[in-house]
Amino acid sequence: MAPHSTTLIPSAKWNTTYDSSARLPTKEHCVKVRNLLFAEEEKASPSDGDHSGCPSDLSAQHERAILYLHGAKDMTRDDTDVELDFRQESHFFYLTGVNEPGFHVIVDFTAMQVYLVAPTISETDVMWKGAAANTSELLQQYDVDYIITEDDMGPTLKQLAPTVIHVLDTTDTTALPADMLPLLKQDDLRLALTRARLTKFPWEITALRRAADATSHCHTALMARFPSLFSQGKITEGRVAALFTGLAAACHGLDRQAYVPIVASGVRAAILHNTRRSGLIEPGALVLVDAGVEAGCYSSDVTRTFPASGTFSAEARTMYAIVLKMQKAVLAKLKAGTWWPDMELLAMQVLCEELVALGILCGSVDELLDRGVPNAFFYHGLGHSVGLDVHDVGGSYLFTEPLQPDMVITVEPGVYFHGAVLQAWSESVHRDYFDWVQLDRYRSVGGIRIEDTVQITADGHDNLTTAPKEIADIECLMQTSEKHVDLFSVSFPTSPASTTTGASPSPSSASSVPSSSSAFIPLLSTRA
């Protein structure tokens, strides 16, 4: 029959590169943190008069308050001289945009000026790693007011004459003058940074969209090429992870993963974080790939589950449809003002209803939910915040406050048949709520997770993830792709959506791309 009509490839084309040298407007982060920090202090110690959180009023109330952070340093592995790949501490990057080792930052909250302290580079380091950028270059590259040296830091602090220095409890303060140490305050800064990072500015959404675009492309390419990999014999889960990371680097110039890729197949897919990836993938198994790239320190987080053979078995199809129904139910309700615990309950209710309908669970849905029985199959949270870290700060607020516009979160329901977990339930007082014979039909499915990263908006959400997830779309992609196309020689035009803060492609424009058009589907080379 004719190929199923799908929107496998959105009209917005994949990015090829990410410009990590672009100057980020991070000073607005400093202002945001300052306002939140002072507002929290005002709540804790209310003063006379109504200051309304106005920046000028807040500065007057907190005269001579500064912030100090020391960025990450180069590290080596254990007791060797082998360097570890450098990645900046996320709070420091949030305030400075600096992804280089050894820097410090001082933020004068009174004048709202940012002092970036450049590290001292020895002649030996210059020989091994090259010369550091000069003051003019640093001012062009970073959104700061002054560049000073480490030798200048002490005199600068004396000139600022702070009465309080806000630091984190993890901040290395050994570079501060001894007479400044009594002024350190560790109580409030982490809360202000957490609050600030929970919602994103438009340029941050753009960075997150770039990461999601590249990640979606890598997932799509893996699915498209996967069936033909078995012509070379069985492959390991580790090789799949290597293919994913290679795609991100070769096609998008993104050589850092947001987290260690999780690849699991068959019964191992019930292991939530299978980072060992040592198993062989059987042709009839489902393959779960939970992987995302990082673009300019901003993360992505996407999971797709697909059949290694290119066709879902009857049991896998049934369970996959349940997980997709769980996710769609939640996505239909997402918008600012929604309470996340209600979404977790909704997902669990859909799962429970479907398992009762299949005869796997026995009893009323209300009773099963009240006793937590569906947790035997879905035993992790529905999602988390995403930003500079894949499990970004502020996740606890998802359970204490309604969702806000410009939060970026994941929606990742799953169904798992974990032998040890089910064994524990079979030996519990709840064992009679299960039809174990019916359940055994589905054990070989292992685990299924579908995860998208979405931006919360005032009246809904913007799904940043574009990798296919409908059963028909996945099977069409895996069964009709031209396997001779070499992904590593394919060019991908820059996406208009990924260079602005615009919305995702409209359905009408996306549906105009034929699902069977291999010219638009990036594939893995047969050399992989």
Residue 19 lies in a domain: no
Q: How far apart are CA 340 and CA 402, in angstroms?
A: 7
Residue 302 belongs to a domain? yes
Half-sphere exposure of 81 (CA within 13 A, CB side): 0
Going by pLDDT thresholds of 50, 70 and 90, the confidence category of residue 49 is: very low
Give yes or no: residues 379 and 360 share one domain: yes
Which residue, 429, 393, 419, is CA-closest to 408? 393
Contact present, 89 and 71 (Cβ < 8 Å): yes
Q: Give the CATH number for residue 236.
A: 3.90.230.10
What whole-number distance in Å separates Cα of residue 437 and Cα of residue 87?
50
The residue with greater pLDDT, 508 or 329, is 329
Q: Are residues 234 and 362 in the same domain?
A: yes
Domain assignment present for residue 329? The answer is: yes
Assess whether pLDDT exceeds 80 at residue 484: no
Among 87-101, 279-293, 498-512, the minimum mean pLDDT is found in 498-512
pLDDT band at 339 (very low <50, low <70, confident <90, very high): very high
248 and 193 belong to one structural domain = no
Among 293, 209, 297, 291, CA closest to 248 = 293
| Average pLDDT over every residue of 386-393 | 98
Quickly count: other Cβ atoms within 10 Å of residue 331's Cβ. 15
- 298 with 399, same domain: the answer is yes
pLDDT at 494 over 60: no
Q: Residue 449 is part of which domain span? A: 202-479
Quick check: pTM over 0.85?
yes
DSSP codes of every residue in 168-217: -TT---TTS-GGGGGGEE-SSHHHHHHHHHHB--HHHHHHHHHHHHHHHH
pLDDT score at 22: 80
Amino acid at 329: A
DSSP character string of 369-415: HHTTGGGGT--S-S--B-SSSSS-TTGGGGGTS---TTBEEEE--EE
**195 has a pLDDT exceeding 70:** yes
pLDDT in tens, 127-149: 888 888 999 999 999 999 999 99
Looking at residue 326, its pLDDT comes to: 98
Residues 125 and 92 in one domain: yes
Sign of CA dihedral 163, 41, 401, 396: positive
Is residue 308 predicted with pLDDT exceeding 70?
yes
Same domain, 244 and 145: no
Length of the chain counted residue by residue: 528
Cα 489–Cα 495–Cα 497 angle in degrees, nearest 5: 155
Q: How far is CA 22 from CA 19, 85, 100, 155, 295, in A?
A: 6, 21, 14, 31, 12
Q: In this structure, are residues 374 and 356 in contact, taking their beta carbons and an 8 Å threshold? A: no
CA distance 158 to 146: 16
SS3 label, residue 65: strand
Alpha-helix residue ranges (DSSP H) falling in 334-358: 340-358
Instruction: Kindly state whether residues 261 and 401 are assigned to the same domain.
Output: yes
Tokens standing for residue 116? 């970036």
Query: How many of the other CB atoms lie within 10 Å of CB of 367?
Result: 12
| 145 and 270 assigned to the same domain | no
Reduced to 3 states, what is the DSSP secondary structure of residue 106?
strand
Location of structure tokens 């340029």: 203
- 345 band by pLDDT with thresholds 50, 70 and 90: very high
3-state helix, strand, coil in the chain (%, to 5): 40, 15, 45
Domain boundary among 198, 230, 247: 198
User: Is 501 inside any structural domain?
Assistant: no
Residues 6+ apart with CB under 8 A from 109: 34, 37, 38, 59, 62, 65, 66, 67
Mark whether 262 and 236 lie in a shared domain. yes
Same domain, 181 and 153: yes
In this prediction, what percent of the chain has a pLDDT beyond 70? 83
Q: What's the structural domain count of the chain? A: 2
Query: Containing H/E element for 166?
Result: strand 164-166
More confident residue, 478 or 17: 478
Instruction: Read off the pLDDT band of 233 (50, 70, 90).
Output: confident
**Tokens (6 digits) for 452:** 């998208």
Instruction: Look up tokens 């492309």; give the residue.
Output: 217
Please state which of the ranges 134-148, 220-234, 269-283 shows the lowest mean pLDDT: 220-234
Provide the mean pLDDT of the chain: 86
What confidence tier does 383 reach under pLDDT thresholds 50, 70, 90?
Answer: very high
Residue 351 has pLDDT above 80, yes or no: yes
Mean pLDDT for 243-259 is 94
208 and 235 share one domain: yes
Burial 179-193 (b: 16+ CB within 10 A, else e): ebeebeeeebbbebb
Judgement on whether residues 172 and 249 belong to the same structural domain of the protein = no
Q: Which of residues 370 and 21 earns the better pLDDT score?
A: 370
Is residue 522's pLDDT more than 80?
A: no
CA nearest neighbour of 467 among 261, 229, 301? 301
Check which CATH number belongs to the domain holding 85 and give it. 3.40.350.10
Angle at 12 between CA 10 and CA 16, to 5 degrees: 115
How many C-beta atoms surround the C-beta of residue 494 within 10 A? Answer: 15
**504 lies in some domain:** no
